[in-house]
Amino acid sequence: MAFESLSERLNKAIKNISGQGKLTEKNMNDMLREVRMSLLEADVNYGVVKDFIERVKEKALGQEVLDSLNPSQMVVKIVHDELQELLGQSDAKLHLKPNGLSTIMMVGLQGTGKTTASAKIARFAKQKLKKRVLLVACDVVRPAAIEQLQTLGKQIDVEVFSLGAQTSAIETARKALQYANEHQKDLVIFDTAGRLHIDEELMDELKEMKEIVHPDDILLTVDAMTGQDIVTVAKEFNEQLQITGLVVTKMDGDARGGGLLSVRTITDVPVMFVSNGEKVEDLEEFHPDRMADRILGMGDILTLVEQAQDKMDMEIQKKAVERMQEGIFTFNDLLDQYKQVKKMGSMQNVMKMIPGLNKLGAQIDDEQVDAGVKKNEAIIHSMTPYEREHPNCLKASRKSRIAKGAGVKVMDVNRLISQVEQMQTLTKMMKSGKMPDFGAMQRG
């Protein structure tokens, strides 16, 4: 996960000062020094860090803070707000037309994840914005880019327009627009060619395409792992093409985060999306406030809920809630829940997004959790369909057969049975109204 070490260091600095009731010039300076070092180490642009520290200092020494009930908490808030300011004051949204045909040009250097991001944004626009999307394969430079886009298009059930690698990108773009108009599409996303480095030929080609496509948005993909290079590349593309937003990719890697924290201030181009994995669903809209929360270890419950809605199968979840309201919870329900939770990625990352549990997240050993889940799955798979639905029928002989089948001890089977029994007790309480109705909470 990107920002990991920045987050750890900032947290330490903040904890130090918020643990001290009194704010003195000395502990303030100590904290600011630590914040400065952590930002520089995360590869944030030097000038950006300098201004950041000055702004925090100025505000923190203001009368309002000194007069407040808890000055150190106020300082933490100032750091948070300034961090948010670096990331962008408010959410940046796509500029698509409410009606009629809109177009997006995806641009970026080779290997930054442009083709993948084109498909991810197509999926986003189709699902969240209810657009009828056409993807257009205009990257005729990188071998296999067309095929890759076609494969991705199939995965997300979005049509891909291509005239093959022999037809020029410009000609393909022209024909694609015509096709989109004839087939009642309302959003066309052009995956354009990249190069390994910025060169004149690339920029000329993109400018020509811009003339034809009249894009509502030009999105530049930049790789989080390239650090400060993000700023250089964004500046150059922006000067030549006036880009409207950034898609920062590979945020699932261990990028230090400096590029993302510097780019807005230096180029004034907002980050619109971050991509955090290779799969088509691994895309998040970028929210500066939530990212600031996450960096300062305050969790990000809103993104977690959105990810759950996006990645989990909501039909299965709805059925699970209905069964629980009926007071039913069996081994099959547990298997379903394991499957759903796995779609959310590692337990550690899930915990980090929950305010208050994020510190605990670091202590969780994902391998250990996985091993425990695998063991329980093996036990359930050794049961007959009848046993899975009727936990109460499991007497000694059945238990020892199941344990043998799963290669575990009877003790492990007993532990799993008591877990399911506990869940059954809870669901029965829910049915009888002794507990809050989770179903209503979910619907509400």
Cβ-based nearer residue to ligand GDP, 154 or 374: 154
Report the chain's terminal Cα–Cα distance, integer Å: 33
Taking CB under 6 A as the rule, does residue 201 contact ligand GDP? no
HEC states along the chain? CCCHHHHHHHHHHHHHHHCCCCCCHHHHHHHHHHHHHHHHHCCCCHHHHHHHHHHHHHHHCCHHHHHCCCHHHHHHHHHHHHHHHHHCCCCCCCCCCCCCCEEEEEEECCCCCHHHHHHHHHHHHHHCCCCCEEEEEECCCCCCHHHHHHHHHHHHCCEEECCCCCCCHHHHHHHHHHHHHHCCCCEEEEEECCCCCCCHHHHHHHHHHHHHHCCCEEEEEEEHHHCCHHHHHHHHHHHHHCCCEEEEECCCCCCCCHHHHHHHHHHCCCEEEEECCCCCCCEEECCHHHHHHHHCCCCCHHHHHHHHHHHCCHHHHHHHHHHHHCCCCCHHHHHHHHHHHHHCCCHHHHHHCCCCCHHHHHHCCHHHHHHHHHHHHHHHHCCCHHHHHCHHHCCHHHHHHHHHHHCCCHHHHHHHHHHHHHHHHHHHHHHCCCCCCHHHHHHC
Instruction: Select from 7, 38, 116, 427 the one that contacts ligand GDP (CB under 6 A).
Output: 116
Cβ-based nearer residue to ligand GDP, 191 or 412: 191
Taking CB under 6 A as the rule, does residue 111 contact ligand GDP? yes
Shortest approach of ligand GDP to residue 279 CB, angstroms? Answer: 9
Beta-carbon-side half-sphere exposure of residue 166 (alpha carbons within 13 Å): 0
Among 52-60, 212-220, 277-285, 341-349, which window interacts with ligand GDP (CB under 6 A)?
Answer: 277-285
Residues that bind ligand GDP (rule: CB under 6 A) add up to a total of 22
Q: Measured between alpha carbons, how far is 333 from 340 in angstroms, rounded to an integer?
A: 11
Site for ligand GDP in 218-247 (CB under 6 A): 221
User: According to the annotation, is 172 in a ligand binding site?
Assistant: no
Taking CB under 6 A as the rule, does residue 142 contact ligand GDP? yes
User: According to the annotation, is 439 in a ligand binding site?
Assistant: no
Instruction: Select from 64, 278, 322, 421 the one that contacts ligand GDP (CB under 6 A).
Output: 278
- Closest to 2 (Cα-Cα) out of 227, 170, 173, 178: 227
Instruction: Select from 71, 88, 153, 194 the one that contacts ligand GDP (CB under 6 A).
Output: 194
Among 19-27, 114-122, 199-207, 263-271, which window interacts with ligand GDP (CB under 6 A)?
Answer: 114-122
Question: What six digits make up the tokens of 416?
Answer: 């799993």
Instruction: Select from 31, 42, 49, 113 the one that contacts ligand GDP (CB under 6 A).
Output: 113
Instruction: Select from 210, 250, 264, 399 the one that contacts ligand GDP (CB under 6 A).
Output: 250
Q: Measured between alpha carbons, how far is 335 from 385 in angstroms, rounded to an integer?
A: 13
Taking CB under 6 A as the rule, does residue 192 contact ligand GDP? no
Instruction: Select from 86, 101, 103, 114 the one that contacts ligand GDP (CB under 6 A).
Output: 114
User: According to the annotation, is 112 in a ligand binding site?
Assistant: yes
Q: What amino acid occupies position 305?
A: V
Shortest approach of ligand GDP to residue 282 CB, angstroms? Answer: 6
Q: Are 170 and 224 in contact (CB under 8 A)?
A: no
Shortest approach of ligand GDP to residue 150 CB, angstroms? Answer: 13
Taking CB under 6 A as the rule, does residue 168 contact ligand GDP? no
Instruction: Select from 110, 232, 325, 332 the one that contacts ligand GDP (CB under 6 A).
Output: 110
Instruction: Select from 38, 103, 112, 262 the one that contacts ligand GDP (CB under 6 A).
Output: 112
Taking CB under 6 A as the rule, does residue 254 contact ligand GDP? no
Taking CB under 6 A as the rule, does residue 7 contact ligand GDP? no
Taking CB under 6 A as the rule, does residue 275 contact ligand GDP? yes
User: According to the annotation, is 207 in a ligand binding site?
Assistant: no
Strand partners, 190: 105, 136
Taking CB under 6 A as the rule, does residue 123 contact ligand GDP? no
Among 105-113, 203-211, 356-364, 393-401, which window interacts with ligand GDP (CB under 6 A)?
Answer: 105-113
Shortest approach of ligand GDP to residue 274 CB, angstroms? Answer: 8
Cβ-based nearer residue to ligand GDP, 84 or 115: 115
User: According to the annotation, is 94 in a ligand binding site?
Assistant: no
Instruction: Select from 115, 226, 238, 427 the one that contacts ligand GDP (CB under 6 A).
Output: 115
φ and ψ of 219, to 5 deg: -105, 130
Among 74-82, 155-163, 248-256, 428-436, which window interacts with ligand GDP (CB under 6 A)?
Answer: 248-256
Among 204-212, 273-281, 403-411, 419-427, which window interacts with ligand GDP (CB under 6 A)?
Answer: 273-281
Q: Are 127 and 189 in contact (CB under 8 A)?
A: no
Shortest approach of ligand GDP to residue 144 CB, angstroms? Answer: 8
Q: How far is CA 84 from the centre of its chain?
A: 17
From the annotation, which residues make up the binding site for GTP?
108-115, 191-195, 249-252
Question: Using CB under 6 A as the criterion, which residues of the chain lie in contact with ligand GDP when the complex forms?
Answer: 108, 110-116, 142, 145, 148, 194, 221, 249-250, 252-253, 275-278, 282
